[in-house]
Amino acid sequence: MEIEGTTAFVTGAASGLGAATAEALLARGAAVIGLDLPSQIEKAEPHGGIRLVAADVTSEEDVLAALAIVDSARPLRIVVNCAGIAPARRILSSKGPHELDLFRRTLEVNTLGTFNVLRLASQVIAEQSADEDGQRGVIINTASIAAYEGQIGQVAYAASKGAVVGMTVAAARDLARHGIRVNTIAPGIVDTAMLASLGPEVGASLAAGVPFPRRLARPKEYAQLACVLIEHDYLNGEVVRMDGALRMAPQ
């Protein structure tokens, strides 16, 4: 899939993985529409060329409104779902049992939000003309290695990301007849602003557990991998771990 001349739709685009991906796609010649919550967009650093749109990925109305912005002269071919939340709560703690509303909200944002964007964007992509190989577009979702090795306090997050992993092959098979590929990236520990807010000692401790390279992943490396998955036309239905061979310990 050629990136230049297309429109790319990136969720969670105001910071972290989404911001890095939006910038990488813009640099490769795509028109980028970035979705994020209003509160996140207000804090985002201005970046000429990326159109940030206030939207909740769990809202059908919000996502449809953002899709309506796509310029027909630059067809929507690329979607990268980066929006997500990562609460920490044990099933049982001194506060009592895990809050059902928190578990539900995590699934709503990470799983339902991903599926909502996938289903609505794929309808738009399916209406585009196909290339010589019958391809119309590619959708990349974001899981986590917590989908495989959820740590203590990650039960809601692990469940939500495990669902994203689980939908990958099914979505790729569903959308194959429309010429749309679906892949998922499962990052390990990425050096984002959220992690940095915990302090340098926490980051150093986490980095020490990575076999090699013994450091945290960088958002631009996620963006680089997303671009590879977009441009490599034979990668479909795959979940790619980006974790430096890390296998998470219980805590």
> What are the catalytic residues?
157
In DSSP notation, 205-236 reads HHHHT-SSS-S-B-HHHHHHHHHHHHH-TT--
- CB atoms under 10 Å from CB of 31, counted, come to 21
Q: How wide is the angle at C-alpha 216 spanned by C-alphas 214 and 221, nearest 5°? A: 110
For residue 157, give the nearest of 80, 84, 99 by alpha carbon: 84
In angstroms, rounded to a whole number, what is the distance separating the alpha carbons of residues 129 and 132? 10
Written as one letter, the residue type at 251 is Q
Distance between alpha carbon 37 and the CA centroid of its chain, in Å? Answer: 15
Q: For the chain, how big is the Rg over CA atoms in Å?
A: 18
Residues in the chain: 251
Q: Kindly tell me the burial class for residue 166, based on how many C-beta atoms sit within 10 Å of its own C-beta (0-12, 13-18, 19 or more).
A: middle
- Whether the link from the prior residue into 200 is cis, omega within 30° of 0, is no
Q: Kindly tell me the burial class for residue 16, based on how many C-beta atoms sit within 10 Å of its own C-beta (0-12, 13-18, 19 or more).
A: buried
In angstroms, rounded to a whole number, what is the distance separating the alpha carbons of residues 219 and 23? 11
In angstroms, rounded to a whole number, what is the distance separating the alpha carbons of residues 160 and 166? 10
